């Protein structure tokens, strides 16, 4: 059984970490088999994978010694690489796999630099980050301003609600007063009439009393004159 190893070593300048993409291919029972690996270190075939063995020792070496991770599908293999380097597309690994398949690598370093790595524009990234920061800062200031306005407007809103409630109460009392005014006016008229009748009755009684007193006084005067004549 013949194993063929294809690898590419990548370096992340931001995290200062190496990552090796490794594909192993072999034929078993006439079928082409593939094994996909990501290894968190810089590997070379001569130093780390030679001499090539047919007993699967290379798999144990990759896992235990180099902490490599074998992926059971090409999709997971691509995702692991993209996640490690923060790539927005799967261009790198997909192109690498296709080119490995047709064996037209040529100068591998130049191939990787020109075809696999997404174009890196530090200035554009800086401008984008600065614009994003300014947008976040503007949003934060807007939120703080809105919070301050809420604090200032809350008492006004509460007083407005209280005013509306009191306005309703005043309206109800005004309507009640309007309904009761005729009743009290009629009641007042009745009381005045009763008071007038009572006063008229008292006046009549007093007049009768005065008339009686005058009669008594006249009788007393008559008696007095009679007494003088005697």
More confident residue, 111 or 5: 5
Helix (H, G, I), strand (E, B) or coil at 213: helix
2-25 pLDDT, tens digit per residue, is 778 888 888 888 888 898 888 888
Of 4-8, 119-123, 161-165, where does mean pLDDT reach its minimum? 119-123
pLDDT value at residue 18: 92
What percent of the chain clears pLDDT 70, i.e. is strictly above it?
Answer: 77
Mean residue pLDDT of the chain comes to: 77
The answer to whether residue 76 scores a pLDDT higher than 70 is yes
Instruction: For the beta carbon of residue 13, count every other beta carbon within 10 angstroms.
Output: 7
Question: What's residue 109's pLDDT?
Answer: 57
CA 87 to chain centroid: 30
**Which of left, alpha, beta for 56 (phi over 0: left; psi -120 to 50: alpha)?**
left
Q: pLDDT per residue over 180-194, tens digit each?
A: 677 777 777 788 788
Q: Which residues contact 68 (CB under 8 A, 6 or more apart)?
A: 20, 22, 37, 38, 39, 40, 62
Work out whether the CA dihedral 57, 62, 67, 71 comes out positive or negative. negative
């Amino acid at each position: 059984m013949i194993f063929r190893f294809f690898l590419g070593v990548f370096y992340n300048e931001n995290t200062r970490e190496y990552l090796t993409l490794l594909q192993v291919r072999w034929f078993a029972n006439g079928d082409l088999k593939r094994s996909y690996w990501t290894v968190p270190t810089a590997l070379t075939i001569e130093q780390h994978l030679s001499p090539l063995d047919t007993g699967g020792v290379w798999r144990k070496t990759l896992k235990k010694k180099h902490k490599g991770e074998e992926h059971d599908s090409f999709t997971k293999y691509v995702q692991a690489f993209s996640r490690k380097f923060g790539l927005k597309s799967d261009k790198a690994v997909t192109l690498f796999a296709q080119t490995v398949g047709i064996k037209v690598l040529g100068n591998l370093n130049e191939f990787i630099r020109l075809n696999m790595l997404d174009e890196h524009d530090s200035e554009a990234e800086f401008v984008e980050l600065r614009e994003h920061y300014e947008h976040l800062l503007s949003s934060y200031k807007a939120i703080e301003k809105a919070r301050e306005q809420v604090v200032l407007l809350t008492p006004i809103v509460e007083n407005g609600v209280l005013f509306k409630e009191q306005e309703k109460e005043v309206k109800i009392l005004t309507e009640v007063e309007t309904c009761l005014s005729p009743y009290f006016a009629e009641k007042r008229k009745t009381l005045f009439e009763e008071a007038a009748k009572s006063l008229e009755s008292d006046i009549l009684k007093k007049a009768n009393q005065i008339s009686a007193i005058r009669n008594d006084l006249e009788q007393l005067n008559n008696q007095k004159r009679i007494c003088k004549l005697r």
